[in-house]
Amino acid sequence: MRSNKYAGPCGECGSAVAAAAGQLIGLPGSWRTICLGCSPTPPPRRDHDGWHRTPLASLDFETTGIDPQTDRVLSYALLDDRGHDFAGLIDPGVAIPEASAAVHGLTAEALAGAPGPVDAIAEIVAWIQDLIERGIGLVVFNAAYDLTMLRAEADRWGLAQPDWERLFVVDPFVIDWGIERGGLGPRRLSDVAAYYGVLLDNAHDAVADARAARDIAYEIGMRHPTVAAGSLESLMLRQVVWFAGRAEDWNHYARKVGRSLDDPAGWPLARRDASIILSA
């Protein structure tokens, strides 16, 4: 949940809420402040089977910016399904915008001496291909961003692509939208983590973010039996539909305020020729 920037009355009970003391909910363009007592909470954990009980891998990148077609991977976390965590830094060979470095702290100095992109990207691609061969689901929060960037990096460095059509992706950003229909306000990783009580004490560190994303996927599965039911394959199809719905809702708002549009067909990978940035 996102805290409110401005003071105002609670949209539910009317009590006064000081700036940053409450939370924002609602759809894009009509966010409203509510007090903590009126804040929605997730349903309780239940005991049912589902994809959340299968071992899942998780991936996260920190990058030079918000355009997955042109920006570069600076750090990566690959958490496999058997308890092994891999993490690494990449010297991208391009300038790192100050605004990006301010988010994750990865400056040119911090990356001096790190390997170049080719070997690291090849290693990440091989790691994903191994998940594909073994049928393991990969958790990626906002996969359309990270996976599109990985595909662009592999193209850039002349590397073979993983067999993307056979990859099972579990995207808590998209699933959360499918459950809440965007009604709970801005839902970036830290917002969804707070809502589900998932610890995220070092946001914008790739390992911490990848861990939180997988923990969120597990909490969603535990608390939403109908979402958890079914195979990873059927979850893929549902996420495609949810992503399209989210994009269409976003575009409805974006057209009114002149923001850039999302491609409803852009999950888990954007079209190669699509120019996309992170929305919401």
Residues that bind Zn ion (CB under 5 A): 10, 12-13, 35, 38
| Choice between 39 and 54, CB closer to Zn ion | 39
In the complex, the smallest distance separating the C-beta of residue 21 from Zn ion, rounded to whole angstroms, is 11
| Choice between 10 and 208, CB closer to Zn ion | 10
In the complex, the smallest distance separating the C-beta of residue 26 from Zn ion, rounded to whole angstroms, is 14
Question: Collapsing DSSP states into helix, strand and coil, what is residue 249?
Answer: helix
In the complex, the smallest distance separating the C-beta of residue 7 from Zn ion, rounded to whole angstroms, is 14
Is 273 exposed, middle or buried (CB count within 10 Å of its CB: 0-12, 13-18, 19+)? exposed
| Choice between 40 and 65, CB closer to Zn ion | 40
| Choice between 5 and 271, CB closer to Zn ion | 5
| Choice between 105 and 183, CB closer to Zn ion | 183
Helix segments in the chain, DSSP class H: 98-104, 108-111, 117-134, 143-156, 172-180, 189-195, 206-223, 225-228, 232-257
DSSP, res 19: T
In the complex, the smallest distance separating the C-beta of residue 211 from Zn ion, rounded to whole angstroms, is 32
In the complex, the smallest distance separating the C-beta of residue 25 from Zn ion, rounded to whole angstroms, is 11
CB atoms < 10 A from the CB of 229, how many?
14
The answer to whether 34 and 12 have CB atoms below 8 angstroms apart is yes
Phi, psi of 27 (to 5 degrees): -85, 160
Cis peptide before 28 (omega within 30 of 0): no
